[in-house]
Chains A and B, each alone.
Chain A
């Protein structure tokens, strides 16, 4: 049973446009959400997070939106750059519990 779902295995976006990566979760106890980015042959690196008391968190070109009623979050990257091409993992956790990761979405930024 997948508690964190990333339904798009891959996404292609033109350089300079907005990339939107989506994530759905099923566990209503989750109250902290994270995005990790992974390049080939490297471990995932933390990108941005959001607590359930917020509905938006912004860090430079990256913004995460949380819709608790829909159990949905999204990561927006604006503008998209070639270096953003990577696999993005959505993750969620409940207080003092392990982090559950989604399967990831591979983002391709097209020149």
Chain B
């Protein structure tokens, strides 16, 4: 158990819909990262937050957005969903912001868009 929790575990929805994925980092971790893992793809970095502020952006679509709240939990919002958005979405957390720190991953949310 990494200490990072993600809800829900599974999500099935239809094209065009909007969903929100939630992540609670490990106690004491200020950085939260979101990754997408599609079929046959590695982990694609989406976005990072540090202590409530956006820190780095990766291959995140404009239809996707995220935020980190004062209690440090984070939400990833996916809108106008397309079939290709079906993937595993992982959240990770670390103590500080630089990439030399080990990231602890949650169990992921499996999103299926029908």
Give chain A's interface residues, CB within 8 Å of chain B: 4, 6, 32, 34, 36, 41-46, 49, 89, 91, 93-104
Which of B42, B90, B103 lies at the interface centre, i.e. has the most chain A CB atoms within 10 A of its CB?
A: B42
- B43: chain A residues at CB < 8 Å are 44, 89, 91, 101
Interface contact A42-B107, CB-CB below 8 Å:
yes
Q: Does B86 contact A (CB under 8 A)?
A: no
Which of B11-19, B68-76, B94-102 has 4 or more CB atoms under 8 Å from chain A? B94-102
- B62: chain A residues at CB < 8 Å are none
- B106: chain A residues at CB < 8 Å are 43
- A99: chain B residues at CB < 8 Å are 45, 99, 103
Interface contact A103-B41, CB-CB below 8 Å:
yes
A-B contact pairs, 17 of them (CB 8 A): A43-B2, A43-B92, A43-B108, A45-B104, A46-B103, A49-B102, A91-B43, A95-B98, A96-B98, A97-B56, A97-B99, A98-B33, A98-B45, A98-B58, A99-B45, A99-B103, A103-B41
CA A13 to CA B100, docked complex, whole Å: 31
Interface contact B58-A44, CB-CB below 8 Å:
no
With both beta carbons as reference points, the residue of chain B lying nearest to A2 in the complex is identified as B42
With both beta carbons as reference points, the residue of chain A lying nearest to B48 in the complex is identified as A98
Q: How far is the CB of B76 from chain A (nearest CB, A)?
A: 15
Interface contact A93-B92, CB-CB below 8 Å:
no
Known: A97-B56, A99-B45. 8 other contacts (CB 8 A): A32-B99, A34-B102, A36-B105, A43-B92, A44-B90, A44-B105, A45-B105, A101-B45
- B35: chain A residues at CB < 8 Å are 101
Interface contact B42-A103, CB-CB below 8 Å:
yes
Interface contact A98-B42, CB-CB below 8 Å:
no
Q: Which of A4, A89, A101, A103 contacts B40 (CB 8 A)?
A: A103
Q: How far is the CB of B58 from chain A (nearest CB, A)?
A: 6
Which of A32, A95, A103 lies at the interface centre, i.e. has the most chain B CB atoms within 10 A of its CB?
A: A103
CA A6 to CA B4, docked complex, whole Å: 27
